[in-house]
Amino acid sequence: MDDVKISVDERDATIAQRDVLEAELQRRTEALDRILNSYSWRVTKPLRSLQGLFYRLFPKLFKNSKAYRDWQALESHSNFPAVTSVLPDNGFRLSGLNLPKVSVVLPNYNYGRFLGERIKNICNQDFPIYELIILDDASTDESKEVINCAVKELKLSVKLIFNEENSGSVFRQWYRGIKEASGNYVWIAEADDLADQAFLSTLMQSFSNKKVTISYSQSRKMTVDSRISADHYLDYTNDISVSKWLWNYQSPGQEEISSSLAVKNTILNVSAVVFRREDLFMVLEKNLERICGLRICGDWLVYLLLLKNGWLSFTSQALNNHRLHQDSVTADTKKEILLAEISTLQQFAASRYEVDAKSLKLAKKYREHLADYFEIEIGSSDVRAECARLLSILEGAE
């Protein structure tokens, strides 16, 4: 009962914190309104309009210009002024040329039926997108046609990459997209998911802390036909803590691993994450084959490696819709592979980081629960063989 009482108290404290943040947001919005209505802002409007006119009349002259690409990104967002109200005080200049540059990487394989809506969803963000990189991994459906049609009317910088042969791993697509990206931050927006309009503008606030390398939000569960089946994933994380994910927090990466990521992958959907590009690129560059060696849990390994030195930031508001497909883990071979990968990554985390005793017990309990649920023996020859294979792959990971 004590744990429940503490959780209720902490929930009340969270509500109070949110009230304070909402008041601060209102203050910044009012300050922005005063600036936009000021005499100096109105007087300089013709100069800004003239700049835009030149860009529209002579785009080929400016297409390689950094300022032109900035203008393109801002021009594609009619509600741009709303962005400034949620950025840190020192993170924005009214010229718009000092905004953080976010590259969106959209990997796709046979999700043509979702792509049109997803591309519109990405472009509807209230935070300017610097560039959109769409990668199709040799889809056999209508994906290529949908992509080509969807990007015709876009006003932002778009790169299209169509593989002639399937790469064999979505993480190779991650790596290719991030290698092509020129922004300082990367959002890997999976083709079948959706995001709230304020997703980027909310998560980008976290990067005012220069130590943060991963910023992510709570997710809703969404069915194949786009119905929301749950407003959060708290049922999945309650075995670790009933209160931790009720409010926003930032944490040193190794503390996050010790308390949570050593037990299970608590960042369930990469679409809910914005990364500092340089940090993510270095991890993928050094460990791509190891990550691709994991058939299901490669994203978990990425988070474990990224947080060795960086911080994590969590937003408790659900800003991402994670589409769940019924055939995700059904075959017995997939169940054995999943159990082996979870067991191996728990062992990897425990061997690389200072994991507390409580988390070690929770990891064991979670492992045993999955074995019972899947009706698989943890010590079966197939699971042990797969664990041995994975441990050899992970040797030297950094």
Q: For residue 190, what is the domain's CATH number?
A: 3.90.550.10
Residue 154 resides in a domain: yes
- Judge if 291 and 368 occupy the same domain: no
Show the domain range for 16: 1-43
Query: 11 and 110, same structural domain?
Result: no
Residue 213, pLDDT > 50, answer yes
* Average pLDDT score over residue span 32-43: 66
Query: Same domain for 314 and 338?
Result: no
Q: What average pLDDT does the segment 343-363 reach? A: 96
Determine the pLDDT at residue 214: 98
Cα pseudo-dihedral 386, 392, 394, 398, rounded to 10: 180
Of 38-52, 75-89, 272-286, 292-306, the one with minimum mean pLDDT is: 75-89
Please give the distance of CA 228 from its chain centroid, rounded to a whole number: 19
Domain boundary among 323, 348, 380: 323
Strand bridging mode 212-222 / 228-230: antiparallel
- Where does the pLDDT of residue 14 fall: very low under 50, low under 70, confident under 90, or very high at 90 and above? low
| pLDDT surpassing 90 at residue 20 | no
Residues 167 and 235 grouped into a single domain: yes
Find where tokens 């194949």 sit.
224
Q: Give long-range contacts, CB 8 A cutoff, 24+ apart: 243-246.
A: 243/6, 243/7, 243/10, 243/11, 245/218, 245/314, 245/316, 246/7, 246/10, 246/11, 246/14, 246/316
- Report the candidate in 119, 141, 134, 130 with the shortest Cα–Cα distance to residue 176: 134
Tell me which residue has tokens 């409007």: 45
pLDDT in the model for residue 87: 40
For the chain, give the mean pLDDT. 85
Q: Tell me, what's the pLDDT at 58?
A: 67
Is residue 96, in this structure, part of any structural domain at all?
Answer: no
Count of the separate structural domains present in the chain: 3
User: Looking at residue 167, what is its pLDDT?
Assistant: 96
CA pair distance 255, 264, nearest whole angstrom = 14
pLDDT of residue 341: 96
The verdict on 129 and 273 lying in the same domain is yes
Q: How far apart are the first and last CA of the chain?
A: 42
Half-sphere exposure of 330 (CA within 13 A, CB side): 4
Mean pLDDT of 3-12: 56
Q: Which residue has the tokens 């210009």?
A: 65
Q: How confident is the model at residue 84 (pLDDT cuts 50, 70, 90)?
A: very low
Q: Does the structure show a pLDDT above 90 at 77?
A: no
Which pLDDT score is estimated for 4?
44
Residues 297-326: what's their mean pLDDT?
96
Alpha helices in 94-203 (DSSP H): 112-123, 143-150, 170-180, 199-203
Angle, alpha carbons 213-126-225 (nearest 5°): 90
Question: Of 302, 323, 344, which closes a domain?
Answer: 323
**Cβ atoms of residues 128 and 73 within 8 Å:** yes
For residue 350, give the nearest of 294, 393, 391 by alpha carbon.
391
